[in-house]
Structure 1
Amino acid sequence: MNKNGEIIIIEDDTDDQFLMEQAFETLEYTNKRVYFADGLDALEYLHSSDTLPFLILSDINLPKLNGFELRKKLSNDAELNLKCIPYLYLTTAGNQEAVIDAYSSSAQGFFVKATKFSELQEMLQTIIGYWKKCSAPNDFD
């Protein structure tokens, strides 16, 4: 896991993108953030980029390729799967069915979008802090 790698954020709402970027800036994380408005563009980027991202934060309800479909494609792609990129959902769809579907796809986390900026900061701090301390199989190469 590349702890200094990019954070891929797949979010189609530009207001949510703006708030997330503001939260990341106030938390002073040095990881570059790369935003995509749909899952298909994110998938194409992950296939074409030579960088190893740190993690993926994905909404569920996305145009072209939703978060569940994207997760399935990434899981079925041997090359991308070996990169051990944590895949977390960050969405407003906080219902039992969505959570079951998320974990059935082997997602590493499911978070409901915060309604207050301070809650968003706290959530991102928790997520990033956890994954910065976590070990992955490719950490030992």
Structure 2
Amino acid sequence: MKPLLNILLIEDDTIEVMKFKRALSVLDLNHKVHNAANGEEALKFLEQKDRLPNIILLDLNMPKINGIEFLSILKKDEVLRYIPTIILSTSNNKKDLLECYKIGIAGYVIKPLKYEDYVSKIKVLISYWSENQLISV
């Protein structure tokens, strides 16, 4: 049996949060999902080191602190820098993609428009990180 993941989803769009949770439900995956509506909320959540996520799924276009700013802050922290962070965004901007990889993301997934394609991508993403040997920080 695959271990349950503790996932931090940083997404400001309520519909996207519901879509992600619904996809997990459709796939019969019972992973724990914490949601932060922006980078500020996520950093507050991450201050509590006893409940760190196994992976972070991050949208790029958010208010207050955008995804790239959040990544820059995250990667400067001696503990948080090791949490695999995957971009889950509608942006296919090559500049954003390169900047994210320079900062140190673990992956970049472009959200498809069709729900079935979205579920398929989430299945592959979660399956990979469920099998990967994650470092417990």
Equivalent residue number for residue 29 of structure 2: 29
Q: Describe the superposition over 1:44-97 as per-residue Cα deviations: whole angstroms up to 9, x where unpaired.
A: 10112511312110000111111111111111000222xx32100011111111
Percent of paired sites with the same residue? 30
Alpha-carbon shift at residue 4 of structure 1 (Å): 2.8
- The answer (yes or no) to whether the contact 2:5–2:130 under 8 Å persists in 1 is no
User: 5+ unaligned residues in a row in structure 1: which ranges?
Assistant: none
* Residue pairs, 1:43-82, within 5 angstroms: 43-81=43-81
Alpha-carbon shift at residue 31 of structure 1 (Å): 1.3
Q: Does residue 118 of the first structure (1) align with residue 108 of the second (2)?
A: no
Whole-angstrom CA distance in 2 between matches of 1:79 and 1:101: 22
Whole-angstrom CA distance in 2 between matches of 1:69 and 1:23: 28
Equivalent residue number for residue 38 of structure 1: 38
- The answer (yes or no) to whether the contact 2:9–2:58 under 8 Å persists in 1 is yes
- The answer (yes or no) to whether the contact 1:5–1:51 under 8 Å persists in 2 is no
Whole-angstrom CA distance in 1 between matches of 2:133 and 2:49: 23
Q: Does residue 100 of the first structure (1) align with residue 98 of the second (2)?
A: yes
Which one-letter code corresponds to 1:117 in the other structure?
Y
Whole-angstrom CA distance in 1 between matches of 2:59 and 2:11: 6
TM-score by length of 1: 0.88
- The answer (yes or no) to whether the contact 1:5–1:52 under 8 Å persists in 2 is no
Which one-letter code corresponds to 2:107 in the other structure?
G
Equivalent residue number for residue 87 of structure 1: 85
User: 5+ unaligned residues in a row in structure 2: which ranges?
Assistant: none
**Shift >3 Å, 4+ stretches:** none
Aligned length: 135
Q: Does residue 128 of the first structure (1) align with residue 126 of the second (2)?
A: yes
Helix, strand or coil at the partner of 1:53: coil
Alpha-carbon shift at residue 107 of structure 1 (Å): 0.3
Whole-angstrom CA distance in 2 between matches of 1:67 and 1:57: 10
